[in-house]
Amino acid sequence: MSGAVLEIDLAAIGANWCTLRALHSAGPVAGVVKADAYGLGAAQVAPVLHAAGCRHFFVAHLAEAEAIRGLLPQHGPDATLLAVLSGLIPGTEALYAESGIVPVLGSLAEIDHWAAHARRLGRILPALLHVDTGMHRLGLDARELALLAQDPARLDGIGLRYVMTHLVSAELSDDPLNETQRRRFAQACAVLPATPRSLANSSGIFLGDAFASDLARPGAALYGINPTPDRPNPMRPAVRLRARVLQVREIPAGESVGYNAIWRAGRPSRIATACVGYADGWLRSQSGRGHALFDGAPVPLVGRVSMDLTTYDVTDHPAIGPGAWLELIGPDLPADAVAQAAGTNGYEILTSLGRRYARVYTA
């Protein structure tokens, strides 16, 4: 029935976590499963990571944490840390405290709200503390950090699990900002109560021992995105996307294909229309730039990607007919390559994948 099939290799995701854990010998390795595990299904991915040995999970929003909380042990020797990166929205304190989900506090106001709630309950409430070292989105800035250092009693009632920061350009191994952030983070930790540290993201794990810490927080690498874009990908591919050809038609030289006639045939051509479009997260920015694979050979994407359909020039592939499958993402056409054609990154390719695909999970 389906016009496109998204295959997700859960065994590869588990193996990728094990690879990263072996590389980060300084401490545990978390699993970042925000954005529905980068579009691949947090309800399926999180238990696989837990079975592989992962005990720390990060999401972006409280609702994401609630969606998978019941799938992960919250008590006993296998208890997990389930943390929300976006922090403490006012009014959600009771939800966090009752559920055991841990907020990542990124401002003095959030610290004060969480500490006040701890006093109301008369018990210690866990949290992570986010320090901004250069991203300038979330996290305590230099002024707030200095105020907290002068008045550490503001943390009374809060059981800090980790102090963390977020690297800006870890995928660029020679970017001097990496070392600047590492140094700023060390300086920040030095004025805070002694607490385990969390520094490296996916790419940060590959920056060397100086970027190791008590907890690494990989995300994209778990799902096969290359954390070292200047080198071969050390991760196993975890995604395969195929789209079915609906029709193949012959057009004469000079005729256009698709909206706005941005592509015209330079020769008599065969055009295959595949059952995938931007409503499925197949980005419109690939128009005239991307390609698919058929039996390992490239098939150019021509014309505009439309809402439900994408067209390919199959003139040189006479075996392609209605019902044939084109590979859009796979081992020989990774999400990073698709992203390059679309002018974006592999993160957006994965997180854009829509709900109309028939999803097949393999273990």
**What are the residue numbers of the active site?**
34, 259
Dig out the tokens for 317 from the structure: 């592939």
Task: Please measure the distance between the N-terminal and C-terminal CA atoms of the chain and give it in whole angstroms.
Answer: 23
Residue 102 pairs with which residues in a beta bridge?
Answer: 83
The tokens describing 249, both together, are 């038609």
Pair 328, 317: CB distance under 8 Å: no
Tell how strand 239-251 and strand 4-9 pair up: antiparallel
Which ranges of the chain does DSSP label H, i.e. alpha helix?
10-23, 34-38, 42-52, 62-69, 93-99, 108-121, 142-150, 176-190, 335-342, 346-352
Helices 108-121 and 142-150, interaxial angle, to 10°? 40
Which tokens sit at 106? 């990124």
Q: Is 113 in a helix, a strand, or coil?
A: helix
Q: What are the φ/ψ torsions at residue 310 (nearest 5 degrees)?
A: -135, 140
Selection from 354, 289, 247, 314 nearest residue 4 by Cα: 354
What are phi and psi for residue 10, nearest 5 degrees? -65, -35
Q: Strand runs (DSSP E) across the chain, as ranges? A: 4-9, 31-32, 56-59, 81-84, 102-105, 125-130, 158-164, 197-198, 239-251, 256-257, 263-264, 269-274, 291-294, 297-302, 310-313, 325-329, 358-362
